[in-house]
Structure 1
């Protein structure tokens, strides 16, 4: 594939996540205890999945950590590619989760009217180009010091700042670019899995199903417990903390008459935390990762 494919994926998906953060985020009431619940739920999801993969499946510590991340597959892929030897089982495990989410999104959004993919240029598009250029330059600087997934981090941070400063512009990344980045991500996943054997397929499928089930089980427990503490709807907390597609969860929340903005804010917070994982990984494992530009 083209040498800068992963850079393109990181920029597009990083900016798209950053633009999801509402410019008037302070106007949305997110109880501090709910934020505590989100973070502790994520920690429990990662811990339970990590222990299973490391202790039961005998995965390495790094592979177990990457395999247990609740979502943000592009960030996981970038971290995995930054390892000296990328792990196919990490990608396969996340692919199982991704397939489940795609099926869920298809079921939830089956009644929605399809929208034509358009790529037009206007004032907003030029602002987005400026955001992308700044993110690309800053990402190159982070790449030189060995930060994994640098363009995803700078894309997200730059988009958050631009969205807050240019709230009247209503910045939104064209869906055709998100579609292209997602398709490229799928192609990269296919390349990484092309040499997998039938036996490995069965083993990693089992691992992916178990890890997904463990994450969902942890989410159910935390949603139930914090629904009692917060006197909040169990379904709202479940949809706020379940590892899943922001778009699919938002559509489901609207259909069910729940609190879509509160649910979206929880998922955006989760995605921001997960997309900052490259910085944490560089701090925790300073010699583990290396630049990925020449790998793909």
Structure 2
């Protein structure tokens, strides 16, 4: 157990030092995959997933600043965002289920455009968690990180941090309230309870006490991201070379189809809303909030509006466990290719 924790942190520190995008996550994934392949027995402390849910859930919640209320966000833009998300999920689901012969559950989880932490929690809730779901999301994440890097390749990096200022002791109260609420939701069987309560508690606190300027220490985000990478790395250890090639193809095709839907929706709604096509594209692409907002700052493309779209998308996706609970079963369907 201790070996896995130490290895994941070492990998995260090394990859961040090498300035690899999302190094905290990818470093942990690579180090634990290598360790698992050479025969090391790996496990993580029981509360690891709870910690990841709390930190990332609160992290999404505190990224909702009060001044975003002044940003113009017409109902048609929200309709476009939801339409785009539905299209992304639908076409990816069709490909994974009909063409790749995945089970309905795995196809649905593999089709969600982003929010890897929420998907991981839902995946782990199955009796037999699927490595290919995690692998597909990893491929999507790598692809989108590369694309966001290409977008900002010719620009100088700007000083930009999501978590700035003095850390507030109110964070402890928010974390305690989120944890207590999460325990209650967990007992009644709600998937990803701590992620949901962390996000909602942080948003509610920010609305009621904006003067507190709630922030979350970067070290907590780093550790939680490393822990998420460790959870992913351990799950990917069992993926064989043959499965690697197959799942890589599935992930690339599903990501490409999803991006195609994003391009189409961004173009159509740019005509309807008389908004910049590039702004809508960066607002709705299933990339990370950080990468897309920084790229928007680089290019001068309404970063507040782009950030608001991504926050809305993440709120929807982090609430996904509540929506899909009725469809989760104790067991896992077997894909036709597995049967």
TM-score normalised to structure 2 length? 0.80
Deviation at 1:257, TM superposition (A): 1.2
Q: Distance in 1 between matches of 2:330 and 2:55?
A: 26
Change (3 A) 1:87 1:222: same
Q: Give the match for residue 265 of structure 1.
A: 308
Instruction: Select 1:285's aligned residue among 281, 303, 327.
Output: 327
Kept after mapping to 1: 8 A contact 2:267/2:277: yes
Deviations 1:98-151 (A, max 9, x none): 2223334555488436899x999x6x4310011001000000100001111100
Q: Give the match for residue 49 of structure 2.
A: 6
Secondary structure of 1:201's counterpart equals: helix
Change (3 A) 1:81 1:257: same
Kept after mapping to 2: 8 A contact 1:105/1:245: no
Q: Distance in 2 between matches of 1:252 and 1:115?
A: 11
Deviation at 1:62, TM superposition (A): 0.6
Secondary structure of 1:258's counterpart equals: coil
Q: Give the match for residue 128 of structure 2.
A: 85
The answer to whether residue 218 in structure 2 is matched with residue 199 in structure 1 is no
Q: Distance in 2 between matches of 1:286 and 1:89?
A: 18
Instruction: Select 2:157's aligned residue among 92, 106, 112.
Output: 112
Q: Which runs of 5+ in 1 are unaligned?
A: 291-296
Q: Give the match for residue 59 of structure 2.
A: 16
Deviation at 1:172, TM superposition (A): 1.5
TM-score normalised to structure 1 length? 0.91
Instruction: Select 2:110's aligned residue among 67, 80, 99.
Output: 67
Q: Give the match for residue 34 of structure 2.
A: none
Q: Distance in 1 between matches of 2:66 and 2:164?
A: 24
Change (3 A) 1:119 1:289: farther
Q: Distance in 1 between matches of 2:280 and 2:164?
A: 36
Q: Give the match for residue 176 of structure 2.
A: 133
Q: Distance in 1 between matches of 2:76 and 2:67?
A: 21
Deviations 1:254-286 (A, max 9, x none): 11111111111000000000000010111x326
Give every structure 1 segment of 4 or more consecutive aligned residues whose post-TM-superposition deviation is greater than 6 Å. Answer: 113-116
Q: Distance in 1 between matches of 2:235 and 2:243?
A: 13
Q: Distance in 2 between matches of 1:28 and 1:112?
A: 25
Kept after mapping to 2: 8 A contact 1:24/1:164: no
Q: Give the match for residue 152 of structure 1.
A: 195
Change (3 A) 1:279 1:288: farther
Deviations 1:138-186 (A, max 9, x none): 0010000111110000000000001111211221111111111111111
Deviation at 1:287, TM superposition (A): 4.2
Q: Which runs of 5+ in 2 are unaligned?
A: 1-43, 333-339
- What is the number of equivalent residue pairs in this alignment? 287
Q: Distance in 2 between matches of 1:115 and 1:22?
A: 15
Q: Distance in 2 between matches of 1:164 and 1:75?
A: 24
Instruction: Select 1:211's aligned residue among 235, 245, 254.
Output: 254
Q: Give the match for residue 50 of structure 1.
A: 93
Q: Give the match for residue 293 of structure 1.
A: none
Q: CA RMSD in A?
A: 2.3
Deviations 1:76-115 (A, max 9, x none): 0000000111000000000111222333455548843689
Q: Distance in 1 between matches of 2:147 and 2:276?
A: 21
Change (3 A) 1:96 1:286: closer
The answer to whether residue 304 in structure 2 is matched with residue 227 in structure 1 is no
1:153-192 map, 5 Å: 153-192=196-235
